[in-house]
Every structure is written in C-alpha cells, then in structure tokens.
Amino acid sequence: MPISQREAAKQWGKSRATIQRHIAAGKLSATRDADGNNTLDPAELQRLYGPPKVASTAPLDTPPVPGEPEAIYRHNKELMQAQIDLLKAENVALKANLTDLREAMQRLPYHSPRRSWWPWSKA
C-alpha cells in the first residue's frame, strides 16, 4: 500500500527534502496519485533506508503506559540498548582512529620556518 512522502519521512526519520532529492536522483521510485502527489512503496523505502525507525517517547526506565503491552515496552528497550551498544562500538573505533592519526602526525618530519633571503629584514 503506497504511502505519501510526508508519512515516509515521519516513519523513516528522514526529511521530505531528502526523500525528494532521492526521487530526483533515481534512488527511489515514486508514482503519482490522482491528486498529483508522489506516493512511495514501503518496500522501496526499506530497500534504501532499512526498516522504519521506531520512535519511543518514553524513557527506558519508566513503566509502560496502561493499555500498552509489556512486550512492546520490552522491545523498545531492547532496540534502544542495541543502538547504545552500536554507538559505544563506534565511539571506540573513532578513538582508535584518532590515536592512529595523532601517532602518524608525530612521525611527520618537522620543517623549520623558511628564512628570508634578505639578511637585514626585521624578524
């Protein structure tokens, strides 16, 4: 079932401009509905952006809202924990990269500043 650009932007956490740019570049295929608006196939969006983002507004330590199944709360908590673990791993990799770059910079040869050819110039 096709969805609008606005709904796609909301579900995948992208801006409408990004989606429109990807349509114009041919990365996404869109069809026009009777009103002339672009509609997108969710399978196309999932192919390009991955699964839709699950937005949870409740903090992880709060109990679930009455009427909300405990499984959804637990699922959101597991998703958030997985994202935290990924970010921690990325942080470790970036710190290692930074250390490597600093070591490489220290190995670069040091060049003293050039002296002027004119011996009586003011320094």
Q: Is the pLDDT of residue 98 over 80?
A: yes
78 located within any domain: yes
Tell me if 3 is assigned to some domain.
yes
User: Residue 59: which domain range?
Assistant: 54-108
Domain harbouring 9, CATH code:
1.10.1660.10
Clarify whether residues 43 and 69 are in a common domain: no
Q: How confident is the model at residue 96 (pLDDT cuts 50, 70, 90)?
A: very high
- Examine residue 121 and state whether it is found in any structural domain, yes or no: no
Q: What is the pLDDT of residue 76?
A: 77
User: 72: which residues sit within 8 A by CB, 6+ positions away?
Assistant: 64
Over range 75-101, report the average pLDDT: 89
Residues 4 and 42 sit within 8 Å (Cβ to Cβ): no
Q: Same domain for 47 and 10?
A: yes
Summary mean pLDDT of the chain: 81
Q: What is the pLDDT of residue 122?
A: 61
Average pLDDT over residues 36-55: 83
Total structural domains within the chain? 2
Same domain, 8 and 37: yes
Tokens describing residue 86: 């990924």
Whole-prediction pTM value?
0.43
